[in-house]
A and B are shown apart, each in its own frame.
Chain A
Amino acid sequence: DVKVTQSSRYLVKRTGEKVFLECVQDMDHENMFWYRQDPGLGLRLIYFSYDVKMKEKGDIPEGYSVSREKKERFSLILESASTNQTSMYLCASRVRQGNTIYFGEGSWLTVV
């Protein structure tokens, strides 16, 4: 079974803090994704990475950056957290040009 692990399930951070959300997958997938989920808006793509050290902006990249130094790990970084970044963040992975995306269990981030 594919496993996508998000190490932090629940975080509370202060406005202006730098926040790291970590994601690890164990299936040697080339593609990895970060989505943000908000009520009534579904899932919106923040960034995706199609291979190590490769990244591409999604639909809502403002205020976020990413890092993919190793194939299995994809980090989402909030350089200076703001209250409007309070949300559920979902990491996902997929084999190169495959059609099924596998999701982690999500990280609930609250910025106060």
Chain B
Amino acid sequence: AQSVTQLGSHVSVSEGALVLLRCNYSSSVPPYLFWYVQYPNQGLQLLLKYTTGATLVKGINGFEAEFKKSETSFHLTKPSAHMSDAAEYFCAVSRSGGYNKLIFGAGTRLAVHP
């Protein structure tokens, strides 16, 4: 069975500081990995995804994530936080191929303070 663990339900950073949101997964088959962002009172928007190929994936709004198979991790980073990055972030995993359902982590709420 697949699962996702997001370390830290709340993360607070200063504007301009590094953002690091942690995600570890378990999967018995090669996974597809995703980060979604949810702004207040909105649905989820895809930030980036890893399917195959390059393990460092760049997404929208300056975010990137690196797939590390040996560590079963897919941490999300951004070099310099903006106030507009304050939102909830969800890591998700699915199987490659087939009727691949998406399994989500519990989410990490990012606060950015001046």
Whether, in the assembled complex, B74 has its beta carbon less than 8 Å from a beta carbon of chain A, the answer is no
Q: Which residue numbers of A lie inside 8 Å of B, CB to CB?
A: 4, 31, 33, 35, 40-45, 48, 50, 56, 58, 90, 92, 97, 99-106
Enumerate chain B residues within 8 angstroms of A92, measured Cβ to Cβ.
Answer: 44
Partner among A56, A97, A99 whose Cβ is within 8 Å of the Cβ of B49: A99
Q: A42-B106, A43-B90 are in contact. Are A105 and B100 (CB under 8 A)?
A: no
B36-68 CB contact bits vs A (8 Å, 1 = yes)? 100001111110010100000000000000000
Tell which of B4, B97, B102 has the most Cβ of chain A within 10 Å: B102
Q: How far is the CB of A9 from chain B (nearest CB, A)?
A: 8
How many A-B pairs fall under 8 Å by CB? Answer: 57
Please state if B104 and A101 are interface contacts (CB–CB under 8 Å): no
Enumerate chain B residues within 8 angstroms of A4, measured Cβ to Cβ.
Answer: 43
Q: A41-B106, A43-B104, A56-B99 are in contact. Are A103 and B44 (CB under 8 A)?
A: yes
Q: Which residue numbers of B lie inside 8 Å of A, CB to CB?
A: 4, 6, 9, 32, 34, 36, 41-46, 49, 51, 90, 94, 96-107
Enumerate chain A residues within 8 angstroms of B49, measured Cβ to Cβ.
Answer: 99-100
Please state if A101 and B99 are interface contacts (CB–CB under 8 Å): no
Q: A40-B9, A99-B32 are in contact. Are A58 and B101 (CB under 8 A)?
A: yes
Enumerate chain A residues within 8 angstroms of B100, measured Cβ to Cβ.
Answer: 97, 99
- Within the assembled complex, what's the spacing in Å between the Cα atoms of A97 and B101? 10
Q: A103-B43, A105-B43 are in contact. Are A42 and B102 (CB under 8 A)?
A: no
Q: A97-B99, A101-B102 are in contact. Are A106 and B42 (CB under 8 A)?
A: yes
